Structure 1
């Protein structure tokens, strides 16, 4: 999984950062809504771990406090949005596997949009289970190294005891991976160590990745961007290898 976290950190939106910021806000607001709904309307982060994690992610994208408070108030009220989780599996061009996670209040709309995005970008929507086996569901915790007082080697030993399975140490980011079942344990451990987490979620990590020539890889980036432009799409996972050449293109 080396280099996996780079996908989330590369600045390749080419002037569309405001749009990206709006998308991140929308994603977190849905996380807050679902976290409260699935815990019987509980809007207290002290007793609702899912909400606590959603609020952590809200702070990680610098969401204003008033937006967060408004989202909690709405989600605990009678007019709360009724979102549900739905996932899709398929293939992009050149045989790259995709797993797309959505949060929607209109399943028919979302199904139609996802199918259209695949079709318009030379991909195809497949049946459930067709690509899921190509990914491992893992907990991923992203930590800013700036301000981190721990020695990284000592920290890794502490986190291995809590279920850490792998680490990435790149530039100003330190990323911790856990098994799906240890997500809660790791979250609690990091809290106990007073380590502030920028982002924490469950991701689908490809077991193997496929390397493509740059021109073909650009077709995959186009498909990823199309999914990111859809309001219902929360997460996109794929098994394209992030080569040095592709990194240079994305950062250009």
Structure 2
């Protein structure tokens, strides 16, 4: 009779997953600190990156080292942000944001992943026009109408564009340039978000056949495994989110 994964095996897998998450968070903090403003209070992007790291149980020492590395005080590698655009299986538009110290490696890995899954790497601007830089702030409501109403009122008063209630969650949407102001206003209203981030949101989502969806999921998971890849955006209407 076969045995399932051992406790040690599961722990090693969880440790590896956690290390990968930390790698991506550290890179985000490093890049956010490159502006020269190393105080999160005066650097909204750095504040968001630090908040994510703390939520993931990263130690303050690790966060401070990443900030020093980004500021140049710690002699760290020169991390760069680079965006790749292309098409996945079924013509699905994909944006892949990377944070890397080696753009040659990053583009080669991204191109290989796309090609292997029936897609192709495009030129700058080839798909980004189908997306808009949008603030997404997500709250758990459990379908509580009173809480949904409170979030709606606070969000619209703060300058948000819309609030989408679905599956026991309320997602506040706002223009990218208003994101930090809206986020702070909602915090001040005593509302604690489950997640908050600036994303590239597609104007429209396209349905894909089941066989293409399977290949697309495999592509997304492949890309997520690449250390250089920071965020992935696409315009496919998947039946369920990709497991992270």
State the TM-score bracket (shorter-chain normalisation).
0.7 to 0.9
Q: Could you say which residue in structure 2 is the equivalent of 1:106? A: 102
* C-alpha distance in structure 2 between counterparts of 1:60 and 1:170, whole Å: 24
Q: TM-score, normalised by structure 1?
A: 0.81
Name the counterpart of 2:195.
199
Aligned to 1:62: 57
Q: How does 1:55-204 map to 2 (within 5 A)?
A: 55-76=50-71, 77-145=73-141, 151-171=147-167, 173-204=169-200
Q: Tell me the matched-pair count.
A: 229
Alpha-carbon distance in structure 2 between the residues aligned to 1:36 and 1:130: 29
Quote the Cα distance in structure 1 between the aligned partners of 2:192 and 2:130.
31
185-194 or 94-103, which moves further after superposition? 185-194
Structure 2 CA distance for aligned equivalents of residues 194 and 218 of structure 1: 41
Higher mean C-alpha displacement, 15-24 vs 92-101: 15-24
2 CA distance for matches of 1:75 and 1:129?
28
Contact 2:213 2:238 in 1 (8 A): no
In the alignment, is residue 234 of structure 1 matched against residue 230 of structure 2?
yes
Partner in structure 2 of residue 11 of structure 1? none
The answer for the alignment partner of 1:10 in structure 2 is none
Q: How big is the alpha-carbon RMSD for the aligned residues of Structure 1 and Structure 2?
A: 2.5
How far apart are 1:171 and its partner, in Å? 4.5
Question: 1:89, 1:36 → 2: CA distance?
Answer: 25
Tell me if the contact between 1:206 and 1:239 (Cα under 8 Å) persists in the aligned partners. Answer: yes
CA drift of 1:33 comes to 0.9
Q: Does 1:222 pair with 2:215? A: no
Which residue in the other structure is 2:5 paired with?
none
Question: How far off is 1:23 after superposition?
Answer: 2.8
| Pair 135,16 (structure 1): closer, same or farther in 2 beyond 3 Å | farther
2:22 maps to what in 1?
25
Instruction: Flag the structure with larger Rg.
Output: 2
Please give the alpha-carbon distance, in whole angstroms, between the structure 1 residues aligned to 2:168 and 2:29.
27
| 3-state SS of 1:115 partner | helix
- 2:66 pairs with 1:49: no
Q: Which has the higher contact order (CA 8 A, sep 6+)?
A: 1
Q: Aligned residue for 1:35?
A: 32
